[in-house]
């Protein structure tokens, strides 16, 4: 599935592998290293709304080429905006769209074959998992331009690496190599560039082999707990819901029969 746009503003493509229950969102603006435009943001939002209505079990966010995942927002598209337009049409809208990604009931994986800076790193931070090639570099350079991260980077980065390290990246402009980002907890996995696809496939296989409803419930429980939600109550409610699914009956039967379960997602 592709959303056509005027030349030069970039494209966000959505493809769904119905057999594997995997959706892939691909950023494609190679001439500008996938710098995000308002048009790309709206295409991303449309793709996410489509995904929410499918039986997809995992979502991949990636770039069409390996040089860069995304180098952030297109500076030329926001530099001349009036303060109210910057708030309403750029910052707030980006927040809404990235939050839609973060709140998908399906788990999401950002694949960083290349560099991720600014809004590109914030896009990856909105995903549940981040895997990167060894040569990738990550950073939030906005303060060096005279502005601040505007699409959730301050909060999501701090939640992953802690305030001191977040300040080192944002205030001091430190860029991280992939191994350091992994050590800090910013990345989930790192692999040589040639093995990145295998790493992705292994993660997707693990995610899609579990009971889909239980995976989605567990994701929401973890996200709620991360912001101080009442996990004891929510776990009880989620457990009650899971108890009514055919997947639980199949999981129990497979355990008793010592075989692999075959989950149907209901």
Residues assigned a catalytic role? 122, 142
Sheet holding 189-191, edge to edge: 11-17, 22-28, 58-63, 108-112, 129-133, 189-191
Question: How far, in Å, CA of 28 to CA of 69, rounded?
Answer: 9
Asked if 159 contacts 151 with a C-beta cutoff of 8 angstroms, the reply is no
Asked if 248 contacts 242 with a C-beta cutoff of 8 angstroms, the reply is yes
Q: Are strands 22-28 and 11-17 parallel, antiparallel or unpaired?
A: antiparallel
Asked if 145 contacts 75 with a C-beta cutoff of 8 angstroms, the reply is yes
Exposure string for 85-119, b = 16+ CB within 10 A, e = fewer: ebeeebbebbeebbebbeebebbbbbbbbbbbbbb
Q: Name 89's Cβ contacts closer than 8 Å, sequence gap at least 6.
A: 38, 81
Q: Which helix (H) or strand (E) holds 253?
A: helix 246-257
Q: Are strands 129-133 and 137-139 parallel, antiparallel or unpaired?
A: unpaired
Question: How far, in Å, CA of 210 to CA of 94, rounded?
Answer: 32
Tokens (6 digits) for 108:
């999401």
């Amino acid at each position: 599935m592709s959303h056509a746009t005027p030349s030069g503003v970039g494209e966000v493509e959505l493809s769904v592998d119905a057999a594997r229950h995997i959706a892939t969102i691909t950023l494609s603006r190679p001439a500008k290293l996938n710098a995000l435009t308002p048009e790309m943001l709206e295409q991303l939002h449309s793709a996410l709304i489509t995904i929410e209505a499918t039986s997809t079990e995992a979502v991949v966010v990636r770039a069409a080429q390996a040089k860069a995942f995304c180098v952030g927002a297109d500076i030329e598209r926001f530099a001349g905006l009036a303060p109210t337009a910057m708030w309403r049409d750029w910052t707030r809208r980006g927040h809404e769209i990235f939050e839609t990604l973060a709140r998908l009931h399906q788990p999401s994986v950002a694949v960083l074959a290349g560099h991720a800076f600014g809004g590109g790193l914030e896009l990856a931070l909105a995903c549940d998992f981040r895997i990167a090639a060894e040569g990738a570099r990550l950073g939030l350079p906005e303060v060096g331009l005279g502005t601040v991260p505007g699409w959730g980077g301050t909060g999501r980065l701090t939640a992953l690496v802690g305030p001191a390290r977040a300040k080192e990246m944002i205030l001091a402009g430190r860029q991280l190599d992939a191994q350091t980002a992994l050590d800090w907890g910013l990345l989930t996995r790192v692999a040589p560039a040639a093995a990145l696809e295998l790493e992705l496939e292994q993660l997707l296989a693990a995610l899609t082999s579990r009971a889909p409803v239980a995976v989605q419930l567990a994701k929401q429980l973890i996200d709620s707990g991360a912001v101080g939600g009442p996990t004891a109550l929510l776990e009880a409610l989620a457990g009650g819901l899971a108890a009514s699914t055919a997947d639980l009956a199949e999981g129990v039967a497979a355990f008793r029969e010592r075989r692999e379960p075959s989950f149907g997602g209901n």
